[in-house]
Amino acid sequence: MTAIKGAGHVWLDGKQVTNLAEHAAFKGTFQTIQELLARIDDEPVGYKDAKLGKYVHQAFSIPTTKEQLLEKRAAFEAWSIQSFGMMSRLSDYAYALITGYYIDREQFAQYDATFPQKIERYYEQLKSERRLLTTAIADPQIDRSKPLTERPEHALLHVVEETTDGIYVSGAKMIATGAPYVDDILVNTPYSKAEEQEKFANFFIVSTQSPGLEIICRKSHAAQDLALYPLASQFDEMDAVVVFNRVFIPNDRIFIRGNAEGVVKAHRHQQLNELAHYQTVIRLLTKLKFVAGVTTAVAESIRVTEFLNVQQKVGELYMQVDTIEALLHTSETNGFVQENGVFTPSAVQLQVVRNLGTSYYSRAISILKEIGAGGFTQLPSTLIERFEDEALQKQLETYYVGAASSAKQKTALFRIGWELVGSELGSRHDLYERFYTGDPFRIQSLFFENYDKLPLDDYLDTFLTKIQQREELLL
Ligand SMILES: Cc1cc2nc3c(=O)[nH]c(=O)nc-3n(C[C@H](O)[C@H](O)[C@H](O)COP(=O)(O)OP(=O)(O)OC[C@H]3O[C@@H](n4cnc5c(N)ncnc54)[C@H](O)[C@@H]3O)c2cc1C
């Protein structure tokens, strides 16, 4: 069994957390991660690495055929189903990200000649030690209107000292999901202006055990009682701000140093890496299926499925699921072997999902809310069987019963629904799906920028040529 070490300095409610496995806010998720890690020891999540002679996560495999890509899909599906898509950064996305950098390592040698060797070493280490990894890119939201040169230096992560062995950095990054549990954090700062290159334009991986690194957690949304909070008791993966107080980054973990073009390229690689986005699409699909399933069951439990408006709304959820499924399938079918011999899914459909995902989840939650309606607030504050008055218990069973389900079944279902639509954890997930992959507006603009517009121009040219031919005929 892989041991989770967790970060060195984790702060919650103003206090330092010393033992994640025992702390009320972390132990449920800790247990879930342990269960996830154990799945690496078997297929479909793991595969036997020939060099290491042991099972490693499929996210590290480098597919050369469509069949091998589909093995990856099976692994991502199995891993995400374990948390119904509710845990997203632990750590298959990051594994796929590093695999992508490893595959394309020579492209970054121009920014640091040792990049290929360093990423290869890290890829092997991550794979064999089963280290957990997350990412932290954005700066704290202080004053977004100011150009970098006018922002206070302390607000930006910057180099404070350089030695022959590495650099010392200070500042902060928001947000790193899963930070308390992970071993390492990938930090990048995609600043593109030449004048900021030296201090700010750095791409490195920091150990969460590093002296001076503080993990500042948001409010915990975790709960203890599995029956009352089936989601929050298992799946609060936590988000945190990462504070650096003269944190030392050794040379072998610095991948790009003081090069704006390099860090932007590394960031774009993160945003466009097909293997990493393949994982996010599969995870989103799992979550949308889960919400569609819960919504269907809620509708059936109060038999509102007979009404056309309800059918139309639940049907919209099925269309969401089938749209993502179809895009995923097309990206696999249109996948191809790149010049480097790697079979990758077609990027454009994955990027379409990335854009759709920022609004699909909110819409799905809104539909669930509209269908369960007042039923979500009708829930008693505890389980009916925990009421101390037996006569009242029996009476409540008649009021909380469903059209074709017992009161126990129906209230258990509505509790899951409430966690999705009304709890703190639920709101956090709505926010997460809108923003985790970046600002949706700027992502759409990136999609516009990268889209192959040539075939569209061809259509127009054909039309204009036809008009010209017709005009000539009429002359
Ligand atoms: C729950 C959650 C988990 C996350 N986990 C991670 C993680 O694990 N790792 C990670 O790296 N990041 C993570 N993020 C951060 C995420 O990458 C950012 O939230 C996202 O990039 C948007 O940046 P921001 O939140 O700073 O919003 P801002 O950039 O401050 O934007 C705020 C608003 O202002 C607008 N705006 C701001 N600047 C501009 C501009 N220049 N042009 C146009 N509009 C602008 C935006 O459109 C938006 O409406 C997470 C975010 C959330 C909510």
> Considering Cα of 93, then 235, then 49, then 116, what sign does the dihedral take?
positive
d(CA 353, CA 440): 12
Q: What spacing in Å lies between the alpha carbon of 248 and ligand 1's midpoint?
A: 27
User: If we measure between CA atoms, which residue out of 69, 19, 14, 12 comes closest to residue 44?
Assistant: 69
Please tell me the predicted confidence (pLDDT) of residue 91.
81
> Ligand 1 pocket, 177 CB below 6 A?
yes
d(CA 130, CA 3): 9
Q: What spacing in Å lies between the alpha carbon of 140 and ligand 1's midpoint?
A: 10
> Ligand 1 pocket, 175 CB below 6 A?
yes
Q: Which helix (H) or strand (E) holds 442?
A: helix 440-450
Which part of the chain is CATH 2.40.110.10? 9-271
Contacting residues for 259 by C-beta, under 8 A, at least 6 apart: 111, 112, 197, 201
Question: In this structure, which residue's CA is closest to atom 4 in ligand 1?
Answer: 436
Q: With 80 as the cut, is the pLDDT of residue 108 above it? A: yes
Q: What spacing in Å lies between the alpha carbon of 436 and ligand 1's midpoint?
A: 7
Query: What CATH number does domain 273-438 carry, 2.40.40.20, 1.20.140.10, 3.30.1330.40, 1.10.1240.10?
Result: 1.20.140.10
Q: What spacing in Å lies between the alpha carbon of 176 and ligand 1's midpoint?
A: 12
What is the CATH code for 9-271? 2.40.110.10
Confidence of residue 199 (pLDDT cuts 50, 70, 90): confident
> Ligand 1 pocket, 237 CB below 6 A?
no
What is the DSSP annotation of 50-98? TTTTEEEEGGG---SSHHHHHHHHHHHHHHHHTTTT----SSHHHHHHH
Please report, as a single letter, which amino acid is at residue 114.
Answer: T
* pLDDT, the chain, mean: 94
Q: Which of 206, 283, 436 to mutate to test the pocket of ligand 1 (most atoms within 8 A of CB)?
A: 436
> Ligand 1 pocket, 189 CB below 6 A?
no
Please tell me the predicted confidence (pLDDT) of residue 1.
53
Peptide bond into 175 cis (omega under 30): yes
Please tell me the predicted confidence (pLDDT) of residue 50.
93
In Å, what is the CA distance from 415 to each residue of 222, 304, 374, 381, 472? 15, 18, 13, 10, 71
Give me the count of residues in the chain: 475
- pLDDT tens for residues 389-442? 999 999 999 999 999 999 999 999 999 999 999 999 999 999 999 999 889 998
User: If we measure between CA atoms, which residue out of 466, 310, 431 comes closest to residue 373?
Assistant: 310
Percent of the chain surpassing pLDDT 70 = 99
Q: What spacing in Å lies between the alpha carbon of 123 and ligand 1's midpoint?
A: 28
Please tell me the predicted confidence (pLDDT) of residue 4.
87
| Assembly ipTM | 0.97
| DSSP letter (8 states) at residue 140 | P
Confidence of residue 385 (pLDDT cuts 50, 70, 90): very high
> Ligand 1 pocket, 140 CB below 6 A?
no
Which part of the chain is CATH 1.20.140.10? 273-438
d(CA 277, CA 87): 15
Contact assessment for residue 68 and residue 106, using Cβ atoms and an 8 Å cutoff? no
Question: In this structure, which residue's CA is closest to atom 38 in ligand 1?
Answer: 144
